[in-house]
Amino acid sequence: MIEGFIKCRIMHYSVKGHLDSDMGSVNDNISTKISAVADAAVEGDPTLATALGLPSGKAPPMLPSPSSANSTPVNRDDGTPRGSTASNRPPQPAAHATTRQSQYTGIVPYTLLPSYFRENPTAIPSHVMNSMSAVTEPIGPTLVHELKTFTTMYVAASYCLATSQSTLNLPVIRRCFPNTWARMMHSTLLPTDEHEPDFEDEEGELFWPDQSVNGEGIGWVCLMGKAMIKEFGKAYGYKGLEGVVSKPRPGPGESQSDHPSSSTQRTGPPTGTSASSSSHPPNHRSSTTSSAPR
């Protein structure tokens, strides 16, 4: 679970930081190229231009991309003009556009099509569709690497979280870690209160880490894991950080120069020294070798 949350956090900030803007630039560039190819095809086919409502044979100025259709409009009407009624207003094309998009089966993504193809039910000729589908946009090796890293990390995070769902869930915690389960179920904390609990507290409130796609929740996973370890290890005398055993130091009279290969030969801490051991290096040969005749 914690590995899956870590990978989701990396992906979230990678997309939020630069990957989304980089791919947005690529999308805008290829959309511009597709519109240029379509404009050239329409100008060279008067029949198609007439069917699209372009009697001059030229495409209108390119409109904003459909992705910005839901943004807040800049210009607003201050009021309804005098004498106008709802029946005099032109019908809204949103419903028709949604229907056309659902029925569209071309090989070029619908949102990349020029506006006169999206807003007109006229079928796109095959030669125009093939010309638009042949448009490409080069991307650098850095972006390729980041996209591959993103997809690989997504697969790994999906596997980690799918595995954790089957091995670590609320029913399992309730059965095996009832105290930890109660601390999460009877909690008044919010998802953003990761800084509130004490890491070494054994009775405080916790929170079940429910989301990972927003890049948050790692703190809750660590707090839950710590609580599970303490609850399980209490019967075995687990003391946490208080029970850490420090690394043994070399005994008196011993130094690294006296034991040039002691790190590879010695398997345990020194058992003591004597007058003879202080003047002679310790004998690491086996008893069989030391008793053999010279």
Using 50 as the pLDDT threshold, list the residues of the chain that sit under it. 67-78, 80-87, 261-294
Q: Tell me the one-letter amino acid at 79.
A: G
Give me the pLDDT at residue 143, please.
94
Q: Are the beta carbons of 117 and 53 closer than 8 angstroms?
A: no
Q: Which value, to the nearest 10 degrees, does the dihedral of the CA atoms of residues 128, 133, 136, 139 take?
A: 150
DSSP state for residue 16 in the 8-state scheme: I
Give me the pLDDT at residue 59, please.
61
Give me the pLDDT at residue 292, please.
44
Both tokens of 35, joined, read 């519109």
Q: Are the beta carbons of 29 and 23 closer than 8 angstroms?
A: no
pLDDT, tens only, 20-67: 999 999 999 999 999 999 999 888 888 888 888 876 656 665 555 554
Give me the pLDDT at residue 287, please.
43
The domain segmentation of the chain, as residue ranges, is: 141-237
What is the rounded CA–CA span in Å between residue 189 and residue 207? Answer: 7
